[in-house]
């Protein structure tokens, strides 16, 4: 699975494109041999040294899908932890409300705001590079995928993210998780897309048109999520009509349909919100 659109990157940052990674489905990285050894057969030429395979044979053993039966990687192959960018560490001290333990989406123009707020402290080029790295990080993309608003230097929400920014950050987060997890994450991703669609307030056709890209697997997950959302919306709309016609209060109605009162109330609220949104769109149509 690849991502076909840009990610959320603060203005004036030189964000490099994210390198492709494996699909959201539970597969091993493409550079790793797959089950059965297709494309990278296991060599057995007598040069293996001991159970751990020695230095030369490391990486030649097959890695079974889902990680079962995978050989233990040699210790020397483990990548060292990446040191933190010193400018990002400095930003966490200068502006912990945005760059501290809990990240927040950054407003557009945050680069200029930071330079103006800390003259002589932050250097323009290193700040630009640090913000680009920050915007590509999984931690930041996870915050963007949550759909929170953009925040200023005081930690105040000032503007909304676009549905496209939320959607593509969500796809990228799950793509990265899928590269590390033996679990098939597509069902969870479909549910997250469904929630992002409902939060966007867009009609289904417009959402699909704006989100579809070159990755057909992502496109199909998006269509499946919207199909599920449409089916649920139809049920909730029917439930609202039944409630309005019943003349009963919410407790009596939920009991009559065998629903938990909280579930019934949430369904009715979503149906009312959709009806209100449709009423606002009709004059424009």
48-74 pLDDT tens trace: 444 444 444 444 343 334 444 444 444
Backbone angles phi, psi at 106, to 5 degrees: -90, 140
Q: What is the mean pLDDT of residues 228-233?
A: 93
Q: What is the pLDDT of residue 279?
A: 82
Q: What is the pLDDT of residue 201?
A: 86
Q: Are 261 and 250 in contact (CB under 8 A)?
A: yes
Rounded Cα–Cα distance for residues 271 and 268 (Å): 5
| pLDDT score of 4 more than 90 | no
Does residue 83 have a pLDDT over 90? no
**What is the mean pLDDT of the segment spanning 9-35?**
40
Residue with tokens 């994450």: 185
State residue 81's pLDDT score.
Answer: 56
To which residue do tokens 């991502």 refer?
3
Which of 124, 226, 185, 176 is closest to 7 using CA atoms? 176
Nearest Cα neighbor of 35 from 57, 82, 67 is 67
CA distance 213 to 200: 18
The pair phi, psi for residue 10, each rounded to 5°, is -55, 150
In this prediction the pTM is 0.66
Mean pLDDT of the chain: 79
Please say if the pLDDT value at position 46 is more than 60: no
Q: Is the pLDDT of residue 242 over 90?
A: yes
Residue 10: the pLDDT is 55
**What distance in Å separates the CA atoms of residue 67 and residue 135, rounded to the nearest whole number?**
31
The yes-or-no verdict on residue 234 having pLDDT over 90 is: yes
- Sorting pLDDT into bands at 50, 70 and 90, what band is 82? low
Report residue 283's pLDDT band, with 50, 70 and 90 as the boundaries. Answer: low
> What is the average per-residue pLDDT within 23-50?
38
**C-alpha–C-alpha distance, residues 76 and 94, integer Å:** 37
DSSP 68-99: TTPPPPPGGGSPPPPPPPHHHHHHHHH-HHHH
Q: For residue 149, what pLDDT is reported?
A: 97
pLDDT of residue 277: 80
pLDDT in tens, 100-116: 999 999 999 999 999 99
Q: Is the pLDDT of residue 268 over 70?
A: yes
The C-alpha atoms of residue 12 and residue 116 are separated, in whole angstroms, by 14
pLDDT band at 89 (very low <50, low <70, confident <90, very high): very high
Distance CA 170, CA 57 (A): 37
Per-residue pLDDT at 8? 55
> Quick one: pLDDT at residue 266?
93
Say whether pLDDT at 11 is over 90. no
């Amino acid at each position: 699975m690849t991502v076909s659109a840009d990610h959320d990157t603060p203005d004036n940052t030189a964000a490099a494109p994210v390198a492709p990674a494996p699909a959201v489905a539970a597969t091993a990285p493409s550079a790793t041999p797959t089950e059965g050894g297709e494309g990278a057969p296991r060599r057995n030429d007598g040069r293996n040294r001991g159970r751990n395979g020695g230095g030369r044979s490391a990486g030649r053993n097959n890695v079974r899908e889902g990680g079962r039966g995978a050989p233990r990687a040699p210790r020397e192959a483990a990548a060292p932890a990446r040191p933190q960018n010193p400018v990002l560490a400095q930003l966490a001290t200068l502006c912990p409300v945005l760059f501290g333990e809990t990240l927040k989406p950054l407003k557009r123009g945050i680069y200029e705001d930071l330079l103006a707020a800390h003259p002589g402290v932050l250097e323009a080029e290193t700040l630009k590079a640090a913000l680009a790295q920050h915007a590509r990080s999984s931690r930041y993309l996870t915050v963007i995928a949550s759909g929170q608003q953009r925040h200023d230097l005081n930690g105040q929400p000032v503007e909304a993210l676009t549905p496209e920014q939320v959607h593509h950050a969500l796809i990228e987060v799950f793509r990265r998780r899928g590269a590390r997890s033996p679990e098939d994450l597509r069902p969870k991703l479909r549910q997250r897309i469904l929630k992002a669609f409902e939060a966007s307030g867009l009609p289904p056709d417009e959402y699909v048109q704006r989100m579809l890209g070159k990755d057909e697997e992502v496109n199909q997950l998006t269509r499946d999520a919207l199909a599920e959302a449409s089916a649920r919306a139809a049920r909730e709309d029917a439930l609202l009509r039944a409630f309005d016609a019943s003349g009963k209060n919410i407790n009596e109605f939920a009991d009559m349909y065998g629903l938990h009162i909280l579930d019934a109330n949430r369904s009715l609220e979503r149906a009312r919100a959709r009806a209100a949104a449709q009423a606002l769109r009709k004059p424009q149509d």
